[in-house]
Amino acid sequence: MSAVISCGALTYTHPDGSVALDGLDMLVPAGRSGLVGVNGSGKSTLLKLIAGELRPTSGMVHASGEIGYLPQDLTIRADQSVPDLLGLTPVLAAIEAIENGSTDQTDFDTVGDDWDLAERVRAELDRLGLPSAVLDRSLGELSGGEVIRLGLARLLLRRPDVLLLDEPTNNLDGESRRHLYDVVSAWQRTLLVVSHDRELLEHVERIGDLRDGDVTWYGGGYSDYAAAVAAEQEAAAQAISTAKAEVRRERRDLAEAERVIAQRRRYGAKMQANKREPKIVMGLRKRAAQESAAALKQTQTDRLERARENLDEAQTRLRADRSIRIDLPGTEVPAGRVVLTTEQLVLRHGVPAHLDLRGPQRVGLVGPNGSGKTTLLHTIAGRIPAAEGSATVHVPLGLLPQRLDLLDDSLSVADNVARRAPHADVNAVRARLARFLFRGNAADKLVGALSGGERFRATLAAVLLADPAPQLLLLDEPTNNLDFASYDALVSALAEYRGAVLVASHDLGFLEDIGAAQVDWRPDPVIG
């Protein structure tokens, strides 16, 4: 199968000197492909290079045909009209001029083959779950999810040969995601999508894993990828066990060889002391014994070194353990304890909410963008005042916001956590941070220098290890921008958490993984 996208020795260095990609070779065939990897592995940079948004430092990148690229963060003007974003204005104006009698060749050139543009626009908007009335609005009036869908509509109207999508489901609600999944499933040309959305990745034909500067391809969707990686890791763990046994065996053999050599030396010294053989014979025997001993020791040393190399090679195939296992006894909430109550609560923008929680309930708020889920969480946390009424939290509370802005970038991970638990023993803090995968010197890294995944784990540690321990945990779209390792870290941490959880999320798989009951968040929902 011929490649539509090809990269050869592709290298890109950021202006600050940090290397994003170093000598990457990659071939992407026609069809639907996904690209995954840990945060900071260079996925977004790679898409920008393919799209021509960035120039390689060295090497080559090529894509056949017209490219359509949807970045994570669309740069927009709030006063820009939707028709302008979609690129409709000049074509529609030219069509109108021609219909009114214009014979200007410029108008015909502007229209080109787009005589049916208005019909295609309505069809694409409908396909993405957007009403035609959106054409009468400016971008500042739309939600982030609506803007993302319009950005995708703009690309689909161009009918590109190669479609590049960077984390397209971030900020999309459940219904919008389903529309996007349908678009991906129906795509007939070349698609390369960077995503950690497991459901989206079920709709691709292959998945590339960008790890340690190389891409490894796996056939099928996410389920096939996960099964293949699990099998690889099981084989790698077995190879490590075998290699460790080999190292132990070679160490024993080397020790035995050294014992035999020492025994021979003692025997030769005894023979020489007793002068039972002629001096020249004893000299030859000693030299031969020394050469034999040196050869034996070198052989065993070489075998031990090869065994160690085999162990090192086997360990490189085993992915780092990303699971968090930590005891959080202070977070436990008795079954009947009142955790949260509201009285005639009306959120900012006039959305009423009746919400009561008791005991270690886990509730997932699921609803369209703009329905007030984030506002509710921040109102409960005291970050946003209520328009009317009140929300009362009866237990210690922790908030993990969508924007990870809780920590001080100028302080280390350990110092940030210690600030939220001022009475905790320093060694105890570091011991618990190790369970969040900040072991040794990693706990001393400045937060401002952390990768996205590390910053997430540091923020999660600061929230869960606070003093007093949170018995109500508020999570605002926690899986947005999480790579698989960070996702697994969050799920494993919540498996140890014993308090109540209120989470706003469009990720139904995540809500299922943490055992949260789903509540369709509409005006004036009642939970209790």
pLDDT tens-digit map of 510-522: 999 999 988 777 6
Which range has the worst mean pLDDT, 113-117, 185-189, 354-358, 428-432? 113-117
Please indicate, yes or no, whether residues 183 and 253 belong to a single structural domain of this protein.
Answer: no
- Mean pLDDT across 158-173: 90
- Mean pLDDT across 397-406: 87
Question: Are the CB atoms for 495 and 350 separated by under 8 Å?
Answer: no
Please indicate, yes or no, whether residues 357 and 311 belong to a single structural domain of this protein.
Answer: no
pLDDT tier for residue 456 given thresholds of 50, 70 and 90? confident
Answer whether residue 327 shows pLDDT above 80: no
Specify if 323 maps to a domain: no
In this predicted structure, what is the pLDDT of residue 360?
Answer: 94
Q: Of 168-172, 231-235, 414-418, which has the strongest mean pLDDT? A: 414-418
- Mean pLDDT across 304-325: 70
* CA 251 – CA 305 distance, rounded (Å): 10
Q: Is the peptide bond before 71 cis (omega within 30 degrees of 0)?
A: no
In this predicted structure, what is the pLDDT of residue 389?
Answer: 93
Please indicate, yes or no, whether residues 203 and 66 belong to a single structural domain of this protein.
Answer: yes
Please indicate, yes or no, whether residues 312 and 280 belong to a single structural domain of this protein.
Answer: yes
Please indicate, yes or no, whether residues 138 and 185 belong to a single structural domain of this protein.
Answer: yes
Structural domains counted in the chain: 3
In this predicted structure, what is the pLDDT of residue 453?
Answer: 76
* CA 325 – CA 494 distance, rounded (Å): 10
Please indicate, yes or no, whether residues 269 and 341 belong to a single structural domain of this protein.
Answer: no
In this predicted structure, what is the pLDDT of residue 1?
Answer: 53
Nearest alpha-carbon partner for 390 in 342, 427, 437, 357: 342
Nearest alpha-carbon partner for 472 in 396, 391, 381, 380: 396
254-287: b or e for each residue (b if 16 or more CB lie within 10 Å)? beebeeebeebeeebeeeeeeeeeeeeeeeeebe
Which range has the worst mean pLDDT, 113-117, 150-154, 325-329? 325-329
- Higher-confidence residue of 78 and 468: namely 468
Specify if 235 maps to a domain: yes
pLDDT tier for residue 435 given thresholds of 50, 70 and 90? confident
Specify if 322 maps to a domain: no
Helix (H) or strand (E) holding 154: helix 144-158
Which range has the worst mean pLDDT, 257-261, 275-279, 304-308? 275-279
In this predicted structure, what is the pLDDT of residue 526?
Answer: 45
Specify if 205 maps to a domain: yes
Please indicate, yes or no, whether residues 236 and 375 belong to a single structural domain of this protein.
Answer: no
Tokens matching residue 47? 């898409």
In this predicted structure, what is the pLDDT of residue 395?
Answer: 96
In this predicted structure, what is the pLDDT of residue 358?
Answer: 94
Domain final residue pick, 287, 316, 345: 316
Please indicate, yes or no, whether residues 80 and 192 belong to a single structural domain of this protein.
Answer: yes
In this predicted structure, what is the pLDDT of residue 320?
Answer: 64
- Mean pLDDT across 222-239: 88
What is the CATH classification number for the domain harbouring 72? 3.40.50.300
Task: Read off the pTM.
Answer: 0.74
Q: In what order do the strands lie in the sheet with 500-504?
A: 397-400, 472-476, 500-504, 362-366, 517-520
What percent of the chain clears pLDDT 90, i.e. is strictly above it? 40
Please indicate, yes or no, whether residues 274 and 374 belong to a single structural domain of this protein.
Answer: no
- Mean pLDDT across 173-194: 92
- Mean pLDDT across 430-457: 86
In this predicted structure, what is the pLDDT of residue 292?
Answer: 62
pLDDT tier for residue 7 given thresholds of 50, 70 and 90? very high
499 Cβ contact partners less than 8 Å away, ≥ 6 residues apart:
331, 332, 333, 360, 395, 469, 470, 471, 472, 473
In this predicted structure, what is the pLDDT of residue 21?
Answer: 95
Residue recorded with tokens 């890109």: 12
- Mean pLDDT across 175-179: 89
Domain final residue pick, 195, 222, 249: 222
In this predicted structure, what is the pLDDT of residue 78?
Answer: 77
- Mean pLDDT across 275-294: 58
Question: Are the CB atoms for 289 and 295 separated by under 8 Å?
Answer: no
Specify if 210 maps to a domain: yes
Specify if 274 maps to a domain: yes
Answer whether residue 523 shows pLDDT above 60: no
Specify if 321 maps to a domain: no
What percent of the chain clears pLDDT 70, i.e. is strictly above it? 89
Specify if 93 maps to a domain: yes
pLDDT tier for residue 341 given thresholds of 50, 70 and 90? very high
* CA 505 – CA 365 distance, rounded (Å): 6
Please indicate, yes or no, whether residues 214 and 253 belong to a single structural domain of this protein.
Answer: no
Nearest alpha-carbon partner for 506 in 398, 363, 364: 364
Question: Are the CB atoms for 354 and 344 separated by under 8 Å?
Answer: no
- Higher-confidence residue of 347 and 204: namely 204
Please indicate, yes or no, whether residues 78 and 209 belong to a single structural domain of this protein.
Answer: yes
**Average model confidence (pLDDT) for the chain?**
85
Query: Domain range for residue 65?
Result: 3-222
In this predicted structure, what is the pLDDT of residue 528?
Answer: 47
Position 405, amino acid: D
Residue 134 DSSP class: G
Domain final residue pick, 282, 316, 350: 316
Give the CA radius of gyration of the chain: 31
Please indicate, yes or no, whether residues 479 and 401 belong to a single structural domain of this protein.
Answer: yes
Which range has the worst mean pLDDT, 187-191, 362-366, 486-490? 486-490
pLDDT digits (tens, 9 = 90+) for 53-99: 999 999 999 999 999 999 987 777 778 888 888 888 888 888 888 88
